[in-house]
Amino acid sequence: MTHPGAPAAARAIIAAGRRCDRNGWVPGTAGNFSVRLDDASCLITQSGRHKGFLTEADLMAVGLDGSPRGPGRPSNETPLHLALYRRDRAIGAVVHGHSRAATVLSMRAGDAMTLAGYELLKVLGASPDPDCAASLAVFDNDQDISRLAARIDPTLAAPAALPGYLIRGHGVYVWGSGMDQAMARLEALEFILACELEKLRRTE
């Protein structure tokens, strides 16, 4: 890890992985995490590593053009992270988990989920006013991640979009200016999704 920002980025990713593991959001080797290093590269989890037990050796730097900056194999879902960093220079960290709530709800939703009336929408930059619904995009899953990234990327330009999206039957992506904001947003969104799942259980 030769980039001067890499040690701090690694600490943030390792802590985020543990936090998500404690919450049951990264079962098996699911999920991936990254932090921007500079305008041209990010540090990202390697493929197939358990996110609850990450060390620096489980991370690697990748250019925003997809070129690896050293030995190792980056997460299969690296193109989804890179699309976000290329789209917006203000994005400093991207987190992805496979929670139960995100998986179940995404399988029942259409192209978007409507979220309204939750105080925690504030953390996602949206209004908690029940009359101001926020729309969380839902994309069909695709094992061709580059094709999936190409489908998602143009939709991220829409104004007022929440800083996250669901992939059907798969999980959730959330981003922020740095890992602290990305994780706060992920926790807020996961809380809201857990509430939505609870509401669904009570009405069925």
Kindly list the residues in this chain that would bind Zn ion in the complex (CB under 5 A): 171
- Per DSSP, the three-state class of 203 is helix
Q: Decide whether 127 or 141 has the Cβ nearer to Zn ion.
A: 141
Residue 6 C-beta: closest distance to Zn ion, Å = 23
Q: Decide whether 6 or 45 has the Cβ nearer to Zn ion.
A: 45
Question: For residues 183 and 166, is the Cβ–Cβ distance under 8 A?
Answer: no
Q: Decide whether 163 or 171 has the Cβ nearer to Zn ion.
A: 171
Q: 160's torsion region: left (phi>0), alpha (psi -120 to 50) or beta?
A: left
Q: Decide whether 164 or 171 has the Cβ nearer to Zn ion.
A: 171
Residue 77 C-beta: closest distance to Zn ion, Å = 5
Sheet containing strand 112-115, edge to edge, reads: 59-63, 41-45, 32-38, 93-97, 171-176, 164-167, 134-139, 112-115
Residue 38 C-beta: closest distance to Zn ion, Å = 25
Q: Report the candidate in 93, 98, 88, 84 with the shortest Cα–Cα distance to residue 43.
A: 93
- Per DSSP, the three-state class of 151 is helix
Question: For residues 50 and 27, is the Cβ–Cβ distance under 8 A?
Answer: no
Residue 64 C-beta: closest distance to Zn ion, Å = 20
Residue 196 C-beta: closest distance to Zn ion, Å = 20
Residue 152 C-beta: closest distance to Zn ion, Å = 13
Q: Decide whether 36 or 51 has the Cβ nearer to Zn ion.
A: 51
Q: Report the candidate in 113, 129, 93, 104 with the shortest Cα–Cα distance to residue 165.
A: 113
Give the DSSP H or E segment for 21.
helix 6-22
Give the C-alpha separation, 201 to 76, whole Å: 33
Nearest residue relative to Zn ion (C-beta): 171
Q: Decide whether 37 or 172 has the Cβ nearer to Zn ion.
A: 172
